[in-house]
Structure 1
């Protein structure tokens, strides 16, 4: 079964790189550039994993992660938080993020982390 990943990233270049990388790995993607767009798309379907940037034009990825982990419909879905700010790693842990990726990131490492989380979810 094809796994769906929702990427919330406002930087179009980073979003494109992640999209290209993950489509090449066989994942189906939902892409959002804002929190409002994410919320709108979640009404249609839920992904198997979220990748969320911290600095967003209309919100904070740490708060979004916390909201997702406290919502009965999404709390079971793994969340990876991404940021260039080193302080975000500790904050993402407090928000119950399943993993943290520091920007700039290694493409192979991103694929490995996603795969590990999706395997844990199905186990």
Structure 2
């Protein structure tokens, strides 16, 4: 059974590339363009990993990560935060994210980091 990855990314082009690469790597993928969609998807099924952008049109990925890590239901789900903004790396650590990927990113590195979190 393949692992489910939830991607939260507001940039449609980036979201589509990530979704395609993950599906080609035989992951099940659910995507959301904003925090509201993500929360709805989360109600339907808990993912094995969450890949999340920091800047969302209706929320802050750092705050969202912090909430996930404080919830009994979701705290053990690995969260990888993505951002083009260097200060977000420290913020992601403060929010207990499991990893941080700087944009732009290498797709092979993205897959290695996802696989390492799922191992």
Q: Report the TM-score when normalising by structure 1.
A: 0.96
Query: How far off is 1:41 after superposition?
Result: 1.1
Unaligned residue ranges in structure 1 (runs of 5+): none
**Structure 1 runs (4+) greater than 3 angstroms displaced:** none
1:18 aligns with 2:18: yes
Q: Do residues 74 (structure 1) and 113 (structure 2) align?
A: no
Q: How many residues in Structure 1 have an aligned counterpart in Structure 2?
A: 119
Q: Distance in 1 between matches of 2:21 and 2:43?
A: 26
Q: How does 1:82-97 map to 2 (within 5 A)?
A: 82-97=82-97
RMSD value, Cα: 0.4
More moved, 36-45 vs 102-111:
36-45
Q: Distance in 2 between matches of 1:22 and 1:94?
A: 27
Aligned to 2:6: 6
CA–CA distance in 2 between the matches of 1:61 and 1:69? 12
1:61 Cα offset (Å): 0.3
2: distance between equivalents of 1:60 and 1:27?
26
1:2 deviation in Å?
Answer: 0.5
1:21-48 deviations in whole A, cap 9, x for unaligned? 1001000001000101111111110000
Q: Secondary structure at the match of 2:44?
A: coil
